[in-house]
Every structure is written in structure tokens, then in C-alpha cells.
């Protein structure tokens, strides 16, 4: 049970990290184009 929760935690961490990277990329792209996309 503990192992399962650890795996879940790692997956959530990876997802948030990926989302943050995508958000940063979209911010940079928006700044380049002069428009903001959310």
C-alpha cells in the first residue's frame, strides 16, 4: 500500500512538473508573439 501511494505521488509530481514546463513555454511563446494564450 505504501509503495502504491509513493508511485502515485511520483506520477503527480511528474505531471505538475510537465504542466509547469508547458506553462513556461506558452508564456515565452506569448511574449514573443505579443499575445497571451491561456
DSSP code string of the chain: -HHHHHHHHHHHHHHHHHHHHHHHHHHHHHHHHT----
Q: pLDDT tens for residues 7-23?
A: 989 999 999 999 999 99
Angle at 14 between CA 12 and CA 17, to 5 degrees: 110
30 versus 18: the higher-pLDDT residue is 18
Is 12 buried (19+), middle (13-18) or exposed (0-12) by CB count in 10 A? exposed
pLDDT of residue 31: 72
**Is the predicted pLDDT of residue 1 greater than 60, yes or no?**
yes
**pLDDT class of 28 with cuts at 50, 70, 90:** confident
Amino acid at each position: 500500500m505504501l509503495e502504491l501511494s509513493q508511485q502515485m505521488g511520483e506520477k503527480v509530481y511528474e505531471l505538475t512538473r510537465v504542466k509547469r514546463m508547458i506553462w513556461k513555454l506558452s508564456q515565452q511563446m506569448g511574449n514573443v508573439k505579443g499575445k497571451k494564450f491561456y
